[in-house]
Structure 1
Amino acid sequence: MRFLRLLFVAVLAIILIAVALANRGIVTLSAVPPNFAQHLGGRWSVDLPLFLVIFVAFASGMLAGLVWEWLREAHIRREARQRSRDIARLEGEVGQLRDRHAAPRDEILAIVDQPKSRPASPATGTTLPAPR
């Protein structure tokens, strides 16, 4: 398993390096449209290598998906916590009931609750019928 993980990381590194080498050109990344930037003043763009724009866009997309799923599954985690608390409470109650009802309180009940012993089987060669 460790070998497969190492192989996957190596292949991923080779692919990322190939993408970076193939996309080294500088691009201008603008935060607002050029006409609107005139009215705001300042510079609202930055010059970056294309591979960096690709990697940052991919990473931000992965992060957005992670946050989206975490928020979407919040009710599932809340219900799991509630059920876990319920299970712990019920297991505690069952343990208390077992402790309370483990042994009879009365000697008469203890005798009644004892398992019945089976009669000894007759010796071989006798004419008595076998016990049912």
Structure 2
Amino acid sequence: MKTIRYAFWAIVALCLILVGLGNTAMVTVRAMPEAISNLLNISPDVQLPLFVVIFIGVAAGLMIGFLWEWVREHRIRSDARAKTREAEALKREVADLRASKAQENGDDILALIDAR
């Protein structure tokens, strides 16, 4: 299984390297359209290689997707925590009931068997 995982990541790395080598041309990235930047006299332009723009776009998309899923699964995580707390409380209650039952019967052997 590790071999398949390493092969997959090797193929992904090779693809990223090929995309990087194939897109080395410099491009201008603008934060706002020219009409608005001329109106406000602000021109936030950056010169970057195209592969950097592509990788930043992919990384931003992944982070937005991870955040979206984390927010969406909040209810599931909180339900799981509540169920875990409930299960722990029930385990403590069963242990207390077993201990009280053993004390009522006064039989040490049965108390040891029930403790398991």
Give the Cα separation in 2 of the matches to 1:105 and 1:15: 72
Q: Once the two structures are aligned, what percentage of the paired residues are identical?
A: 39
- Structure with larger Rg: 1
Residue 104 of structure 1 deviates from its aligned partner by 4.7
Q: Give the letter for the 1:40 counterpart.
A: L
Structure-2 residue corresponding to 1:6: 6
Q: CA RMSD in A?
A: 1.7
Aligned residue for 1:29, secondary structure, equals strand
TM-score (norm 1): 0.74
Partner residue in 1 for 2:52? 52
**Aligned position for 1:64:** 64
> Greater helix percent: which structure?
2
Question: What pairs up with 1:82-121 in 2 under 5 angstroms?
Answer: 82-102=82-102, 104-105=104-105
> How far apart are the structure 2 equivalents of 1:103 and 1:42?
82
Unaligned 5+ segments in structure 1 are: 108-132
Q: Post-superposition shift, 1:40?
A: 2.1
CA displacement at 1:89 relative to structure 2: 0.4
CA pair 12-106 structure 1, distance change in 2 beyond 3 A: closer
Instruction: Please give the per-residue CA displacement for 1:3-44, whole angstroms capped at 9, x wherever unaligned.
Output: 222212211111001111111111111110101001222322
- Runs of 4+ in structure 1 off by over 4 angstroms are none
Counterpart-to-counterpart distance in 2, 1:70 and 1:80: 14
User: Which piece of structure 1 moves more, 62-71 or 19-28?
Assistant: 19-28
Structure 2, gaps ≥5 residues long: 108-116
Equivalent pairs counted in the alignment come to 107
* CA distance in structure 2 between the partners assigned to 1:24 and 1:104 by the alignment: 82
Q: TM-score scaled by structure 2?
A: 0.84
